[in-house]
Structure 1
Amino acid sequence: MWKDADHPPVPVAADALDATYVCDFCTDAKILYIYTTAQRVLVQVDTGHGTVVRDYGTRWAACAECATLVESRDLHGLLDRILTHGMAFAAEVTAHLSTMLQQVLATLRPGRALTVDGRWEPSPVPATMLPKIRDRLATLIAGDIALPFGLSQRTVRGPLAANLATARLYWVDEEFTQLTRNAAQALPRMGFVPGDLPAAHGFVAWALPVDDRRRCVAASWSSHGDAVQLVGYRSVGDGLAPSPLQQLRAQVGWLIPAFAVTLRPGQPVTATHPAAALVTTWRLIRQRLAETTPAKIDRSIRKSYQRAKRPEPEVQLVRIRGTHTTSAPTRHPGTGTVGERDYRWWVTPHWRNQPHGPGRSLRDWIVVRPHLRGPQNKPIKATTTVRVLGTLPPRPGATAPAPAEGS
């Protein structure tokens, strides 16, 4: 009881807890599915001083390997797996487990749902396979496995799968991903602007996880009038043996939803918003801090598209736009010496009164786009990235606000 301790309990928000969920059969932390039974699973236990009834409820989490045994109603295989992964159980405990499993398998409701509670290590997807991974994800969303975050509604999953199947593909390299991570963690409050979208429907994968909490490695968006639906994805499959991994790829694929939100014009987005990394990626691209080039696609995937008479898939590789290789020197006070700076920084967008015309005698205001300064082999200072996410300041002497940079 807490009264015997030195302080009363301190409430903690449920979403702030880093709980570990495990398979209800073998206790593996890499759970993937949730099953439900038509009735509560009740097992009577003889305590030696009478009997008690244990209530195991109706909800059952399963890892990928246990799920295969559950789907085939393999009682003996499931019991063997539990005994292999657990301690040396006494005979009466094994009998208790067998009774419990019989009830579970006999009363299972049809279907299963994906869960986001599994402890999967993030495994970013390669650019060469992005079309195949996207197509498999579209098939999952269009299928009959129940999805989290309200995505199972037919009015949602049908259009989402259709838009994903034709979405423009982007793959963000490691340096640009790190830039995005740093900027998203310090993202100032800004309103969503539909003009930030690089395409009406898109799918982006990052070279590194961009969200430590949700471990997102990819995201998609689809436009519906002024509203934009965003879905983040985490990877699954890391650490599985070859056979169950192959089955997972066939049944689910490489990615499962990690969050789903809808944005409307002007809706505020901050560093704590689930889509902060995606919105930051859009804004960095819009601010022309990135350049895109075609990425090489796996040959087998290109052949598969040809056989299906589909247009050859295109993946845009997103990386930081070319940088200056020199920088203003750093002067060390009192020594008169100069040295190279140990970081790169973004120069914010600004206006310049540029000379032009005959003998450069005329002047006009021009926009200087954001660009990097500093030694090319040095890291980018995160605070300078945040500053360039804003809009272009008003033109000097202008009577009306200047348009946002990149618009």
Structure 2
Amino acid sequence: MTTTPNPAEPPSVEVMYCRRCRRAVNTRTGPSGVTYVHAVEVRGETVDHRPDPAPVTEISDPLIECDFCSAPDAAWIYRCADQRTDVRRVTARVVDAADYQARHHAARTRRTETEHGITQAWGERWSACAGCADLIEARDLYGLIRRVVEAMPAKLTRGNRLVRVRGHLHDTYTAVFDTLAPGRGRIEPGHPLGVWPAPPEGAP
């Protein structure tokens, strides 16, 4: 995690959008190199094409959605420390031989071996709709988690998945809250990275 960001400085991870649909894409780094995935796919939606990434400043009239609840009317940009999530994949499961003979594929796993799969780069800039922004301004972590979970497709929150999803959101949004830069940028036509208030006179 990096230090608290300065809104006047450019982000270390460039904000990327898809040329075809004008929606945000996320950056992933894995054994095969850098790949891109639509942000809405990470949140459980489907897209009918592969990302064609470009910096958001090169996209004409980008569709800026809320990075939290996916609402189509993002109004604000927040800055926080750059976040990256390492995702590991299972390479082997070790089971007891006798248990496997008795239960076959239902045998209990004694040990799981994993390797690095991908690194998900979330970046420093988070867009927020008015509803999510109100919760961020109030530092209402659990209210924000509840709002985001309610907006997710049911397939991502059904049964035991809900606990896992809430835990992931808690970790991610705690880091966002802990490293938020002062102020926020207003999203306006021609300013997809937000119009930020001028720093106080005499500020470094």
Normalising TM by the smaller chain, what interval? 0.3 to 0.5
TM-score (norm 1): 0.25
TM-score (norm 2): 0.47
Higher relative contact order (CA 8 A, sep 6+): 2
Give the structure with higher Rg (CA). Answer: 1
